[in-house]
Amino acid sequence: SQKWVLMVTAQTPTNIAVIKYWGKRDENLILAINDSISVTLDPAHLCTTTTVAVSPAFNQDRMWLNGKEISLSGGRYQNCLREIRARANDVEDEKKGIKITKKDWENLHVHVASYNNFPTAAGLASSAAGFACLVYSLAKLMNVQEDNGKLSAIARQGSGSACRSLYGGFVKWVMGKEQNGSDSIAVPLVDEKHWDELVIIIAVVCSRQKETSSTSGMRETVETSALIEHRAKEVVPKRIIQMEEAIQKCDFATFTHLTCADSNQFHAVCLDTSPPIFYMNAHLIGKIISCVEKWNRSEGTPQVAYTFDAGPNAVLIARNRTSAALLLQRLLFHFPPNSETDLNSYVIGDKSLME
């Protein structure tokens, strides 16, 4: 019969890089020029919820993002759909009397509805949560028998940073050596319980969409920056080793030093791009950085790390609850929320701080 619909819903949090990915060596497969490390956020705060459905009544693949239909014709969506479909298996739902064979999947179409509970494309890595969730939910729907590492390599073809959202805690995206990208996968470093003292605060300085997409930004940086090669070959490999050690030991001073330095260097290579890319152009961001730097220096030991992605939102990682509470007081004191700012919108790790 043409009546049945089979659905799967999944939820995937976004992740924030502390050692940044910036620059591709292969644009179609999305292969990076350096390893990167991120922390996956608590799904309660910033996540994508995706429902995928299959029915013989659907005559084409379709997708809705935040309630609006979007085109699936782009290469990134097509790569993910193709890779998952190629691994589909038999699915049986006895209660509903549904039986789909491996072969059937070639002719069946899916409908996808996806929601972000945070601003899309404002540098909050919405594509990371989005593609990770799309790949994961499709894999469940189609009974794909692959581990998260393999699924991460598929999500990577949707958006590079998405591969890191398949795991919780701290995650490394290994750039890999293979030309076909088979070893360019995410690996979990430590789970979310390992360093649970950390409190992550995201200050939404501006929720407008970013002006330069990460894809064109990276391409322009790789083509024109004199610093990017030095960063990818000399700086990041050392930082990756040091960062892994800092995470293992919960060494906040080293963690802060590396996180802030890497964010600043990422924005330095953006500025070194021709024409230059300014992701940190909001006046407020400079103020937040100096405020944090001053505070860390005056305390003797760092209290807060900052990192900024390709959009004007500050990610602040406090060493514990006490510093998070102090940070919120300071931020609100110096930068009271107004029509242009929506500070301390998301506090991850300890909700009671917001009350």
- Residue 36's nearest CA partner among 202, 214, 194 is 214
- Quickly count: other Cβ atoms within 10 Å of residue 190's Cβ: 16
Site string for ligand PMV, 209-228 (x = CB under 6 A): -----xx-------------
Q: Does 159 bind ligand PMV (CB under 6 A)?
A: yes
Q: Could you give the 3-state DSSP secondary structure of residue 154?
A: helix
- Contact call for residue 33 and ligand PMV (CB under 6 A): no
Binding mask of the shown chain, residues 56 to 75, with x at each position contacting ligand PMV by CB under 6 A: --------------------
21 burial (CB, 10 Å; 0-12 / 13-18 / 19+) is buried
Tokens of 79: 């790569």
- Is 36 a binder of ligand PMV (CB under 6 A)? yes
Interacting positions 94-133 with ligand PMV (CB under 6 A): 125, 127-128
- Contact flag: residue 31 with ligand PMV (CB under 6 A): no
Closest CB 140 distance from ligand PMV, rounded Å: 23
Q: What are phi and psi of 108, to 5 degrees?
A: -90, 150
Sheet of 68-70: strand order equals 6-13, 47-55, 109-116, 62-65, 68-70
158 binds ligand PMV (CB under 6 A): no
The smaller minimum CB distance to ligand PMV, of residues 225 and 303, is found at: 225
Round to whole Å and give the CA distance between 320 and 251: 12
What token pair was written down for 284?
A: 């407020």
- Minimum CB–partner distance for residue 236 and ligand PMV (Å): 11
Told to check if 267 binds ligand PMV by CB under 6 A, we report: no
What the block records as the tokens of 186 is 């995410």
Report if residue 188 touches ligand PMV, rule: CB under 6 A: no
Please give the sequence-ordered ranges of beta strands (E in DSSP) within the chain, or none if there are none: 6-13, 15-19, 24-26, 31-32, 36-40, 47-55, 62-65, 68-70, 91-93, 98-100, 109-116, 170-173, 186-190, 199-204, 304-308, 313-318, 342-348
Binding of ligand PMV by 273 (CB under 6 A): no
DSSP assigned state of 166: G
Q: Are 127 and 155 spatial neighbours (Cβ–Cβ below 8 Å)?
A: no
**Residues contacting residue 54 through CB under 8 Å, at least 6 positions apart:** 5, 6, 7, 100, 108, 109, 110, 111, 141
Q: Which is nearer to ligand PMV, 98 or 121 (CB)?
A: 121
Q: Which is nearer to ligand PMV, 157 or 303 (CB)?
A: 157
Interface with ligand PMV, residue 310, by CB under 6 A: yes
Q: Select from 13, 14, 17, 50 the one that contacts ligand PMV (CB under 6 A).
A: 17
Question: In angstroms, what is the minimal distance from the CB of 309 to ligand PMV?
Answer: 4
Site membership for ligand PMV, residue 160 (CB under 6 A): yes
Stretch that binds ligand PMV, among 153-161, 185-193, 239-247, 334-342 (CB under 6 A): 153-161
Which chain residues interact with ligand PMV by CB under 6 A? Answer: 17, 20-22, 36, 125, 127-128, 159-161, 214-215, 309-310
